[in-house]
Chain A
Amino acid sequence: MEILMSVIAGILFMAATYLLLSKSLLRVIIGTALLSHGVHLLLLTMGGLKKGAPPILGGKSTSFVDPLPQALILTAIVISFGVTSFLLVMAFRAYQELKSDDMDQMRGNDQHE
């Protein structure tokens, strides 16, 4: 199971990298979103996917899945959401100001510094 999940996380990383390397700003942001999905999945996988009850006490079960990675991922989801939405609005503003979403055209050069 862990191997399958690692492979899927790897595929998500691969797709994310490919999108990050593209020209369009929107695709770069889609890439970051995919990347964070991959990271979250990898975090969960590395914590171990042993079967057990959901980490909620009070039931009959005595063995639970590891709660710590879940807490970490929850934090990470919220943070990556904040960053992604910020990036999105920044891209939106960039369209408005520059009338372009082509990364190559946004290239900084010496004259502008």
Chain B
Amino acid sequence: MQLLHLAILAPFLFACIVPFLWKWVKNVHTGWFVLVLPVLLFIYFISMLRMTMAGETIRSVAEWIPSLGINFTVYIDGLGLLFALLITGIGSLVTLYSIYYLSKDKEKLGPFYVYLLMFMGAMLGVVLVDNVIVLYMFWELTSLSSFLLIGYWYKREKSRYGAVKSLLITVGGGLCMLGGFILLYLITDSFSIREMVNQVHLITGHPFFIPAMILLLLGAFTKSAQFPFYIWLPDAMEAPTPVSAYLHSATMVKAGIYLIARFSPIFAFSPVWFWTVASVGLITMVWASFQAVRQTDLKSILAFSTVSQLGMIVSMLGVGAAALHYQHSEYFTAAVMAAVFHLINHATFKGSLFMAVGIIDHETGTRDIRRLGGLMAVMPITFTVSLIGTFSMAGLPPFNGFLSKEMFFTSMLRISHADIFHLDTWGVLFPVLAWVGSVFTFIYSMKLFFRTFRGTAKFDQLEKAPHEAPLGMLISPVILAACAVSLFFVPNILSYSLIEPAMNSIYPALLTGGDTFHVHISQWHGVTAEVLMTLGIIIVGTIGYVTLSKWERLYELFPKKLTLNRLYDSITGSMEKRSYQLTSSYMTGFLRDYLLYIFAAFIILIGSALALKGGFSFTTKEMAEIGPYEIVLSLVMVSATAATVFAKSRLTAIISLGVVGYTLALFFVIFRAPDLALTQLVIETISVALFLLCFYHLPKMQRKKKTRTFRMTNVVISLGVGLIVTLLGIASSSEKTKDSIASFFTAYSHKLGGGNNIVNVILVDFRGFDTMFEITVLTIAALGIYSMIRTKVKEEGEER
């Protein structure tokens, strides 16, 4: 256990104190105490930058379950540190923002910060841990804390719906991911990601390679809201806005991206990986940006835009896999570089946009874009922040989104010229789809910006008179917006410190001996295809935005029944209904039905086992001969049994049962079992007496004689049971594999037990324990009978 482990666990430890701080220190907003932690962690992680820039890594083990190979191993490299900085940095800003956003008096702050800290710790664990099982543990903790945060206002129906939906989808994906991890463990015999990367050649040739990859990608796609699993993200917008800004734009949804990047060294050699990751990313990007345009709620627009931007990052990571197949890999690693760069950019501008939307919501009382407008004059700072955020999102200069969008186009254009994986046929689709997606991105960005801040003001329709937010609320979005602008002008402070080390850990195979990637981002390359594409976006996008009201009706053409949300609702709804129907179809409550299942299972299982294993042996050697007494007694017994079954009155049935019992006693006599015969006679007598006693107490209405309803199934089942038992009896007495131990009892009964009656010696001496407990059984039965007769069941309410 070192400082590093403590850094990951610190949020959890701090979360334990938070409820007390909240309860005891009433006059200070709890958030102020919480704020200290992410700031300290951020500084701590910043101090590690020098190390990863030098290409070094730290690996530190704390044993957890060493016998299973599950250890809390922290591994810090460029990729992990980049995410850790994002988590703690944005975490600090979000905490600061939430102090002003959430009211000290109206909201339950204790639970809020406990969940938030839990999330922060879990997320740090996901990105910094090397052991996949521990990674999975933290992964599910992020799902859980996200669930709690979405359902923070748990009295609202929609919050609960969104929380359950996100939990079902992300945990479902998480379970798939666990399956992938276990498959990888089966291949490599190690839970450590480092070890897996070292054994990459073993993995690539293994039959589990593709299943493991698909399962892992399912986990990544559900978490990062890729097509078709993105549906939980728009519903997660019911969470408080700081949560949406933190979890659902900057950090948690990037856990899937982290996973893809982390496992690229293992899987990226495969064409399946390239096609799945790249195409799912692109489809998500285009589809979500297309959907975002029609939304009217500000947070819904941002949710779909997040999905779209995540798709863009994922597609770039997929395309980057091509680098492994070429000599001049730098040409294709540009895609990975773009992915990492956009990851940072997106966190800055999307975080600031969410916060700006939160401010608008807070100050006007609505997020509906149709009721907003003309806010520019009253909220100048929010206006500026949103301007930077939306224009950066649309990919316009002079904001950082422009740079990453150019790099995105570069990588898409390059991949269209590649000649691997059938790209010569389909490659041209990549830049086309990327361009179409970007046009829609431009349109919704403009809609978000202009519909909110320009146009006619409708202040009289708002619940509150809009005015600028308090200063404290503005600090965080202003810092993020400032980052968005400054990263455009000096992007290379990132390239040396964060992007290069991150790329080193994504594609270590491309580096030979101490070499590192060299990244240089420049704003202007001259008049290239990328610039022309951006110009095209601006032109087409502007036309699209101006004529939005004309073509917006196109969305109505999509049948509502075919939406993915409808699919989710019908699946969850019908599963509940079907399982209820199924259960109530066989759990009838009738004892007879359950007995039927049990007997049928008996017949089928024992019968098929006998048939499959050749159990129907049938020999007559070593069998005793049949004498005349046995034949007579058998006839008596069979007819008495038949009489019991077919008796029309219950009295006949009971008496026939007595006949069966006495015949059995006679059989015991013939088969030389005097003690058995004695016991059987006495017990049968008492039993019959008991039966008659019950018969006497039958109520009058039940006493009329009636034949049973003749049921065919009953006959078939009972025939089957009888047949199986007969076959079992014959088979077991036909094949004696070993001699009985009877000779021991015969030889030692007198010598050791001091008795001549062998059966009695066995009962009280050799196997006395059986007898002791048999006595106990009788005692319990007697006590039970006594208490049943003495205790009267008192019915509450009316008498029956």
Complexed CA–CA distance, A11 and B660 (Å): 12
By beta carbon, the residue of chain A nearest B755 is: A57
With an 8 A cutoff between CB atoms, is B516 at the interface? no
Complexed CA–CA distance, A64 and B697 (Å): 47
By beta carbon, the residue of chain B nearest A81 is: B683
* Other-chain residue from B599, B645, B750, B777 in contact with A19 (beta carbon distance below 8 A): B645
Other A-B pairs beyond A34-B660, A57-B757, 17, CB < 8 Å: A3-B623, A4-B626, A10-B726, A21-B592, A21-B711, A24-B650, A27-B650, A44-B668, A48-B622, A50-B624, A67-B746, A71-B767, A75-B763, A83-B777, A85-B785, A98-B800, A99-B701
Contact with A along B700-741 (1 / 0, CB 8 A): 011000001101001101110111011111101110100011
Inter-chain contact B641/A34, CB cutoff 8 Å: yes
Residues of A within 8 A of B759 (CB): 55, 67, 70-71, 74
Question: Which chain A residues in 50-96 approach chain B with CB under 8 Å?
Answer: 50-58, 64-68, 70-75, 77-79, 81-86, 88-93, 95-96
A-B contacts, CB under 8 A, total: 281
Inter-chain contact B690/A88, CB cutoff 8 Å: yes
Inter-chain contact B722/A11, CB cutoff 8 Å: yes
* Other-chain residue from B660, B690, B702 in contact with A101 (beta carbon distance below 8 A): B702
Contact surface of B with A, Cβ cutoff 8 Å: 588-592, 595-596, 599, 620, 622-626, 630, 634, 637-638, 641-642, 644-645, 650, 653-654, 657, 660-661, 664, 667-668, 671-676, 679-680, 683, 686-687, 690-691, 693-695, 697-699, 701-702, 708-709, 711, 714-715, 717-719, 721-723, 725-730, 732-734, 736, 740-742, 745-746, 749-750, 756-759, 762-763, 767, 770-771, 774, 777-778, 780-782, 784-785, 788-789, 793, 800
Show 27 residue pairs from A and B whose CB-CB distance is below 8 angstroms, ordered by the A residue. A2-B733, A4-B626, A6-B729, A7-B726, A13-B725, A19-B645, A21-B714, A21-B717, A23-B709, A30-B644, A38-B725, A44-B667, A57-B749, A57-B756, A64-B758, A67-B745, A70-B675, A73-B673, A75-B763, A82-B778, A84-B690, A86-B784, A88-B690, A93-B788, A101-B702, A107-B588, A108-B589
CB distance from A30 to the nearest CB of B (A): 5
CB distance from A73 to the nearest CB of B (A): 6
With A21-B595, A44-B673, A74-B676 already in contact, the answer to whether A88 and B746 are too (CB < 8 A) is no
Inter-chain contact B672/A54, CB cutoff 8 Å: yes
Complexed CA–CA distance, A89 and B767 (Å): 31
Question: Which chain A residues in 1-56 approach chain B with CB under 8 Å?
Answer: 1-24, 26-27, 29-30, 33-34, 37-38, 40-42, 44-56
Complexed CA–CA distance, A48 and B793 (Å): 49
CB distance from A24 to the nearest CB of B (A): 8
CB distance from B213 to the nearest CB of A (A): 46
Inter-chain contact B774/A37, CB cutoff 8 Å: no
Inter-chain contact A23/B708, CB cutoff 8 Å: yes
Complexed CA–CA distance, A21 and B715 (Å): 9
Complexed CA–CA distance, A77 and B681 (Å): 11
Residues of B within 8 A of A77 (CB): 676, 679-680, 683
Residues of A within 8 A of B672 (CB): 52-55, 65
Residues of B within 8 A of A89 (CB): 784-785, 788-789
Inter-chain contact A4/B691, CB cutoff 8 Å: no
Complexed CA–CA distance, A1 and B589 (Å): 43
Complexed CA–CA distance, A108 and B715 (Å): 26
With A17-B718, A49-B671, A77-B683 already in contact, the answer to whether A4 and B771 are too (CB < 8 A) is no
Complexed CA–CA distance, A97 and B778 (Å): 25
CB distance from A61 to the nearest CB of B (A): 10
Residues of B within 8 A of A18 (CB): 645, 714-715, 718
Inter-chain contact B626/A9, CB cutoff 8 Å: no
Inter-chain contact A84/B687, CB cutoff 8 Å: yes
Inter-chain contact A104/B590, CB cutoff 8 Å: yes
Q: How many residues of A contact B (CB 8 A)?
A: 90
Inter-chain contact A20/B595, CB cutoff 8 Å: yes
CB distance from A23 to the nearest CB of B (A): 7
* Other-chain residue from A7, A10, A33, A92 in contact with B694 (beta carbon distance below 8 A): A92
Inter-chain contact B676/A73, CB cutoff 8 Å: yes
CB distance from B499 to the nearest CB of A (A): 62
Inter-chain contact B725/A19, CB cutoff 8 Å: no
Inter-chain contact B683/A8, CB cutoff 8 Å: no
Residues of B within 8 A of A37 (CB): 660-661, 664
With A30-B657, A55-B746, A93-B789 already in contact, the answer to whether A2 and B763 are too (CB < 8 A) is no
Complexed CA–CA distance, A51 and B725 (Å): 24
CB distance from B686 to the nearest CB of A (A): 7
Inter-chain contact A95/B742, CB cutoff 8 Å: no
Inter-chain contact A101/B718, CB cutoff 8 Å: no
Residues of B within 8 A of A90 (CB): 788
Inter-chain contact B722/A2, CB cutoff 8 Å: no
CB distance from B458 to the nearest CB of A (A): 54
CB distance from B707 to the nearest CB of A (A): 11
Complexed CA–CA distance, A10 and B668 (Å): 18
Inter-chain contact B718/A21, CB cutoff 8 Å: yes
Give 4 nearest A-B pairs by CB, closest first: A14-B722, A10-B726, A6-B729, A82-B781
Residues of B within 8 A of A29 (CB): 691
By beta carbon, the residue of chain A nearest B656 is: A30
Inter-chain contact A48/B702, CB cutoff 8 Å: no
With A58-B756, A107-B589 already in contact, the answer to whether A33 and B687 are too (CB < 8 A) is yes
Residues of B within 8 A of A50 (CB): 622, 624
Residues of B within 8 A of A107 (CB): 588-591
Residues of B within 8 A of A91 (CB): 694
Residues of A within 8 A of B756 (CB): 56-58
By beta carbon, the residue of chain B nearest A62 is: B746
Complexed CA–CA distance, A89 and B691 (Å): 9
Inter-chain contact B637/A8, CB cutoff 8 Å: yes
Inter-chain contact A57/B758, CB cutoff 8 Å: yes
Residues of B within 8 A of A66 (CB): 740, 742
Inter-chain contact A15/B714, CB cutoff 8 Å: no
Complexed CA–CA distance, A24 and B701 (Å): 13
* Other-chain residue from B726, B745, B785 in contact with A86 (beta carbon distance below 8 A): B785
Residues of B within 8 A of A97 (CB): 793
By beta carbon, the residue of chain A nearest B584 is: A110
Residues of B within 8 A of A52 (CB): 672
By beta carbon, the residue of chain A nearest B726 is: A10
Inter-chain contact B694/A42, CB cutoff 8 Å: no
Residues of A within 8 A of B595 (CB): 20-21
Complexed CA–CA distance, A103 and B676 (Å): 34
Complexed CA–CA distance, A91 and B532 (Å): 91
By beta carbon, the residue of chain A nearest B625 is: A1
Residues of B within 8 A of A46 (CB): 729, 732-733
CB distance from A80 to the nearest CB of B (A): 9
Inter-chain contact B708/A22, CB cutoff 8 Å: yes
Complexed CA–CA distance, A82 and B727 (Å): 30
* Other-chain residue from A34, A71, A100 in contact with B762 (beta carbon distance below 8 A): A71
Residues of B within 8 A of A92 (CB): 693-694, 697
Residues of B within 8 A of A53 (CB): 672
Complexed CA–CA distance, A13 and B719 (Å): 9
Max chain B Cβ within 10 angstroms of own Cβ: one of A48, A74, A79: A74
CB distance from A34 to the nearest CB of B (A): 7
Complexed CA–CA distance, A20 and B690 (Å): 19
Complexed CA–CA distance, A38 and B687 (Å): 16
Complexed CA–CA distance, A41 and B272 (Å): 66
Max chain B Cβ within 10 angstroms of own Cβ: one of A2, A22, A70, A88: A70
Residues of B within 8 A of A70 (CB): 673, 675-676, 759
Inter-chain contact A68/B762, CB cutoff 8 Å: yes
Complexed CA–CA distance, A78 and B778 (Å): 8
Residues of B within 8 A of A64 (CB): 742, 746, 758
By beta carbon, the residue of chain B nearest A72 is: B770
CB distance from A6 to the nearest CB of B (A): 3
With A55-B746, A67-B745 already in contact, the answer to whether A26 and B638 are too (CB < 8 A) is no
CB distance from A78 to the nearest CB of B (A): 5
Residues of A within 8 A of B741 (CB): 68
Inter-chain contact A41/B680, CB cutoff 8 Å: no
With A5-B729, A15-B642, A42-B729 already in contact, the answer to whether A78 and B774 are too (CB < 8 A) is yes
With A9-B729, A55-B758, A99-B699 already in contact, the answer to whether A33 and B785 are too (CB < 8 A) is no
